[in-house]
C-alpha cells in the first residue's frame, strides 16, 4: 500500500490504468502485473507491506483511493513509529497506525464486497498455490485444489482479479521468479527448477517475454526493475 506524497505518474495494474496524483492511496494484493509510466517529475511516497489474510483487498475498480486527512495523518504516525521507537513499543505503534489506516479506508466503503460476491474463495486458492509451491498447475489441478468445477473456479478468478486462472497463475509465477532472483541466493537454473520448469530455456523465454529482460540480467543487476524517477519516502 502506498501514499503518494508528491509527484504524478500513470499506473497500469493487471490491465487497468490509473492517473496517480498527490494524495492518492494505492492498494495492491499479492503479486500483480504492474507498469509505472513516468513523466519528468519525481514521485515520493510512503510504502507499507503487510500480511492480512482475513481482510479482502479493495475491488479492482477502486484500487486507487483519494486519501483523507485522517489517512494521511496515520501514514505519518506509521513513519514516525518506524524511525523513532524501538522494540515492542515500535511494533505496537506501527500496528496501531496500520490498523487505523485500514479502518479509515474501510470507512470510505471501498472495501465492502457486494452481497454474495466475496472474493475470499479465490484468495484461499492462491494461498494454497504459494504454500504448496504449485506454480505451474493445470486447469484441472486448479479445479481439484478449489474443490469446484473448472467453470466455477474460472468465474472466481475473473471476479477477484480480472484475469483467467492461467493468466493469474502466470503473474504469480513471474513475480515469484523476480523476488527469488533479486532477493535470494538461488541462481537462474535453481529458480527455474523451483518454479517447476522442466527446461531452463522455457523459463528464460517466459521471463524475458514478461519483463523484457532475460533472468540472468535480473540476477546480476538487482535494480533492473526499479524506476529511476521514483523513490520511497523515508
> Residue 193 to residues 45, 142, 189, 198: CA-CA distances in angstroms?
36, 20, 6, 7
Domain 120-220 falls under CATH 1.10.287.3510: no
Phi, psi values for residue 185, rounded to 5°: -90, 0
The greatest distance separating any two alpha carbons of the chain, rounded to the nearest whole angstrom, comes to 52
Work out the angle between the directed axes of helices 150-161 and 139-146 (0-180°, nearest 10).
Answer: 90
For residue 175, the model assigns a pLDDT of 82
User: Residue 113 corresponds to which cell in the numbers above?
Assistant: 464486497
What is the model's pLDDT at position 233?
Answer: 39
Model pTM above 0.85 = no
What b/e sequence results for 59-85 when a residue is b if at least 16 CB atoms lie within 10 Å of its CB, and e otherwise? Answer: bbeebbbebeeebbebbebbbebeeee
Strand stretches in the chain, DSSP E: 2-6, 9-13, 16-20, 24-26, 34-37, 43-47, 64-66, 230-232
C-alpha cell at 79: 513513519
| Domain extent listing, the chain | 2-112, 120-220
pLDDT of residue 113: 46
Q: What's the pLDDT at 226?
A: 42
pLDDT along the chain (234 residues), means of 10: 90 78 86 67 85 68 84 91 78 90 77 55 85 91 92 90 90 86 88 94 93 88 48 36
Dist CA 113 CA 59 (whole Å): 7
The residue assigned the cell 519525481 is 42
SS (H, E, C) 53-111: CCCCCCCHHHCEEECCHHHHHHHHHHHHHHHHCCHHHHHHHHHHHHHHHHHHHHHCCCC
**Strand, helix or coil at 19?**
strand
Amino acid at each position: 500500500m502506498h501514499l503518494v506524497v508528491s509527484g504524478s505518474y500513470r499506473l497500469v495494474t493487471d490491465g487497468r490504468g490509473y492517473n496517480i496524483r498527490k494524495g492518492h492511496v494505492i492498494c495492491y494484493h499479492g503479486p500483480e502485473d504492474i507498469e509505472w509510466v513516468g513523466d519528468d517529475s519525481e514521485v515520493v511516497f510512503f510504502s507499507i507491506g503487510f500480511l492480512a489474510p482475513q481482510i479482502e483487498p479493495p475491488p479492482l475498480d477502486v484500487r486507487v483511493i483519494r486519501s483523507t486527512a485522517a489517512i494521511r495523518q496515520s501514514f505519518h504516525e506509521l513513519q514516525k513509529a518506524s524511525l523513532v521507537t524501538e522494540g515492542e513499543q515500535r511494533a505496537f505503534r506501527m500496528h496501531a497506525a496500520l490498523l487505523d489506516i485500514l479502518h479509515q479506508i474501510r470507512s470510505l466503503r471501498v472495501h465492502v464486497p457486494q452481497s454474495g460476491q466475496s472474493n475470499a474463495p479465490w484468495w484461499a486458492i492462491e494461498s494454497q498455490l504459494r504454500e504448496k509451491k504449485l506454480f505451474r498447475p493445470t486447469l484441472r489441478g486448479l479445479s481439484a485444489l478449489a474443490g469446484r468445477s473448472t467453470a466455477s473456479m474460472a468465474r472466481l478468478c475473473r471476479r477477484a482479479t480480472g484475469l483467467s486462472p492461467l493468466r493469474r497463475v502466470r503473474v504469480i509465477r513471474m513475480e515469484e521468479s523476480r523476488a527469488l532472483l533479486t532477493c535470494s541466493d538461488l541462481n537462474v537454473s535453481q529458480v527455474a527448477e523451483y518454479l517447476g520448469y522442466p527446461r531452463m530455456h522455457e523459463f528464460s523465454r517466459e521471463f524475458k517475454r514478461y519483463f523484457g529482460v532475460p533472468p540472468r540480467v535480473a540476477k546480476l543487476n538487482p535494480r533492473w526493475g526499479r524506476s529511476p524517477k521514483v523513490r520511497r519516502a523515508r
